[in-house]
Amino acid sequence: MRTDSVPRRGAVGRPAGPQPAKRQAILEAAVAVFLREGYTRASVDVIADEARVSKQTVYNHFGDKQRLFLAAVEGERERVAADFTPDLDAEPDLDAEPDLDAEPDLDAEPDLDPGSDSDRASDPDPDPGHGSGLEGGAGEAGDVRAALVAFGHRVLRVLLDERASALRRLVISEVARHPSLRPACADGEPRQLVSHLVALLTRRTERGELDVDDPATVARQFVALLVQQGLHQSMYGTRPLPGHEAAAICEKAADLFVRAYRR
């Protein structure tokens, strides 16, 4: 016999009591049902059935379908960013030779030597007067570029996660008909991404390698560039992004920002 209490309205995703396992089961079921049925056709009854809880329990935790949807979107962002804890100051292996025809390991550090054949192969139209855009290659600017490229690969991994991409497309398709869902569009990327890059830019500026007076703005701009290119070339996550295309996106974005902000 169920003993669910009367629904209590509160913050998005805040349950009436400490029931994290039920809350997570509801969120998992909600993502599956929303992706299968769309926002309009999805019902709380079906979500409750798939989560193996009562409809009342869903209301106890989330209040209504809109709040459940917003919580599901936020939960997906947290899921894909959960392991985004890179050591952004780790030195890459500049002698490694990546296989750009293989499926990319976006956690691995690529070959970032500006003069390498692999770097030129990822850029179909390099600037012959500047190579990768960095002088000296292995100097301080090269180290900053390496960290930015590695960060870029991690952003693309988060951005193009299959389930998160599908939910992003659903948000875009539904928000015009349901303006109340606009909060789901407010933060397109997990906040962890920007905060890690802010820390990197701040440290490198303090060391005298970069000259960034507003790390938060610059970090958002760098992430936005990666996101725009990643979404465009992957057709909003409906097309797998080959390794050489991901590398080119990350390397060109890093070159642009190092040229703009190196001291």
The number of beta carbons lying within 10 Å of the beta carbon of residue 20 is: 8
pLDDT in tens, 66-87: 999 999 998 888 888 776 655 5
Q: 105: Cβ–Cβ under 8 A, 6 or more apart, which residues?
A: none
> What is the per-residue pLDDT for 135?
34
pLDDT in tens, 122-149: 333 333 333 333 333 334 566 899 999 9
Q: How far apart are the first and last CA of the chain?
A: 68
pTM score over 0.75: no
Task: List the single range of 27-31, 156-160, 188-192, 231-235 with lowest mean pLDDT.
Answer: 188-192
- How far apart CA 87 and CA 150 sit, in angstroms, is 10
Q: Is residue 88's pLDDT more than 60? A: no
- How far apart CA 153 and CA 145 sit, in angstroms, is 12
By the 10 Å C-beta count (0-12 exposed, 13-18 middle, 19+ buried), 199 is classed as: middle
